[in-house]
C-alpha cells in the first residue's frame, strides 16, 4: 500500500509535472475539496480538480513543481515547493506575457483510504504578479 507521502508526491510529480491527468481518478477522492484563496473557483471532486489543473497548465504549459520538503503525520502531508513556468496563454484576465516565473508555496493534504480528500495551498501570488509585470508593488523583505 502506498504511503500518504508517496501519494502527495505523485500528485505533484506525475499529475502536474508529467501532465498525467488520468491519474487524478486514482489519487484524488470523488468528494475532494481544494482550498486555495487565489483559485478562481473552489475545486471539488475529481472533475473540479482536473479543471483547476487545466486552468494553470493552459497558461503555463511547461509548469513544473520541485518539492523541497515533505512532512507526514497521521492522515496529513505537508509539502514545501517551488513552481516554475512560462506564461504562454491567458491566466484569467491576465493576457499572455511570455515571461518566466518561479514562486514558492506550501500545501497540506488530508488522506482517507489511499486518496487525497482535501487540501490547502498558499503560494506567493504577489511574486507571480510581479514577475508577470502586472503589478509594480515591490517586496521589501524575503520570506523565511
pLDDT interval class at 126 (50, 70, 90): very high
Q: What is the pLDDT of residues 16-58, one digit of tens each?
A: 999 999 999 999 999 999 999 888 778 899 999 999 999 999 9
Domains and CATH numbers, the chain: 4-132 (3.10.450.50)
pLDDT at residue number 41: 78
Please state, in angstroms and rounded to a whole number, the distance separating the CA atoms of residues 120 and 133.
Answer: 27
What pLDDT does residue 38 have? Answer: 84
List the one residue out of 109, 108, 104 whose CA is nearest residue 144. 104
Strands 28-35 and 115-123 turn out to be parallel
Asked whether the beta carbons of 87 and 132 are under 8 A apart, the reply is yes
How many CB atoms within 10 Å of residue 120? 15
- How much is the average pLDDT of 68-88? 98
The answer to whether 29 and 112 have CB atoms below 8 angstroms apart is: yes
- pTM of the full predicted structure? 0.90
Amino acid at each position: 500500500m502506498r504511503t500518504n507521502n508517496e501519494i502527495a508526491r505523485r500528485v505533484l510529480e506525475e499529475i502536474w509535472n508529467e501532465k498525467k491527468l488520468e491519474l487524478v481518478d486514482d489519487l484524488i477522492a470523488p468528494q475532494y475539496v481544494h482550498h486555495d484563496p487565489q483559485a478562481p473557483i473552489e475545486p471539488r471532486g475529481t472533475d473540479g480538480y482536473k479543471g483547476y489543473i487545466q486552468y494553470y497548465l493552459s497558461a503555463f504549459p511547461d509548469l513544473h513543481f520541485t518539492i523541497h520538503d515533505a512532512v507526514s503525520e497521521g492522515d496529513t502531508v505537508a509539502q514545501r515547493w517551488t513552481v516554475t513556468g512560462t506564461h504562454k496563454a491567458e491566466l484569467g484576465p491576465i493576457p499572455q506575457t511570455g515571461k518566466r516565473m518561479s514562486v514558492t508555496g506550501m500545501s497540506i493534504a488530508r488522506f482517507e483510504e489511499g486518496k487525497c480528500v482535501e487540501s490547502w495551498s498558499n503560494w506567493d501570488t504577489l511574486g507571480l504578479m510581479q514577475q508577470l509585470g502586472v503589478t509594480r508593488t515591490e517586496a521589501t523583505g524575503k520570506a523565511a
